[in-house]
Chains A and B, each alone.
Chain A
Amino acid sequence: MKFLPARQALILAAFALLPGVGQAIYFHDKISWQSPIPRSELVSVDQARAWGENVTWVDARTDQDFARDHVRGALSLNEDRWNELLPQFLAGWSPGKKVVVYCSAESCDLAREVAERLRKEAQIPDVFVLEGGWEAWVKKNR
């Protein structure tokens, strides 16, 4: 039986659906289909500022970006130098304080990754990602 490439491709595409659907069912409670960061893990600039002194700001951008400018009092903690920066962060953080992580903009993923690692590896409970990141902060503070 001779199969054309297009027909073969369709068969393969259909076959791939089976394990894909199976995995989606298996992971149904581990990943949100509604939004990349659950609403409960996001915080707006206004809300974060309203928390006042009860916040530790974390800058997840690169060292160069951090050196250029950052939220006043923020601690740098990025994945490039995670092992080096984490102890510094832990020294500056006190239990009970909320942690707000930001990266460059809405499109970057660094803040989410750093927030996730802080929850998982450092066992810090109240970690939030700043909506809109540094861009949103700059807009609100002009």
Chain B
Amino acid sequence: MGEEEQMNQTPNVESPGNAASFVVRRSAFDVRRILWRILDFIVAAIFIYAGVLKMLDPAQFAHDINNYRILPWTLSVALAFYLPWLEILCGLGLIFRFLYRGALSILTVLIVVFTLATIAAKVRGLDITCGCFGHASQHWSLPAHLATNLGILAALLVLFFLGTARRKAVL
């Protein structure tokens, strides 16, 4: 088969129909990429904000953890020093795409654990302060609390399964 003939058989973007379709697909891909990044930034901002608030007042956060009556006080204090930094680092991981899937995994586990602990506390009739966002979330009702957590969890799962799949497809 001659070279000229072979080129004619190979689909290429220079034919007007293919070029248009390529441009449409490309722009749709760009829009999706921007949307994923926006979602990355929103989720990251939530965790960085929450982490910074708690990091600034570890004593209060230790009391918030202790109110759940799940862990001994000493462990509550240890977590109060550790968890805010973990949230901040994972948030930064999402923004800079550094250890991205690891950050998503940790944040997913954290949000699931927080949600289960909240439900368990309410079932046990404990008078808890969420502490998730400092005093801003002090008087959140259980439905508001759960709705926020589930929204964040959904965003994390979307990023993990669809956002990272999109990256793989690109690479």
Contact = CB atoms under 8 A, between A and B. Distances in A.
Interface of A: 3-13, 15-17, 19-21, 23-24, 27, 30-36, 103-105, 107-110, 112
Contacts of A112: 63
Contacts, number: 94
B74 interface: yes
Nearest to A35: B73
Given A20-B85, A104-B127, A30 B59 contact: yes
A22 to B, nearest CB: 9
Interface of B: 55, 58-59, 62-64, 66-67, 69, 73-74, 76-78, 81-82, 84-86, 88-90, 93, 99-106, 126-129
Contacts of A19: 85
Contact of A12 (B66, B103, B127): B103
Contacts of B102: 3, 5-12
A79 B67 CA distance: 17
Contacts of A16: 82, 85-86, 88-89
B20 to A, nearest CB: 37
B82 A36 contact: no
Contacts of B90: 12
A8 B86 CA distance: 13
17 contacts: A4-B101, A5-B102, A8-B105, A9-B106, A12-B93, A12-B102, A12-B106, A16-B82, A16-B86, A16-B88, A24-B78, A32-B77, A33-B73, A33-B74, A36-B63, A108-B67, A108-B127
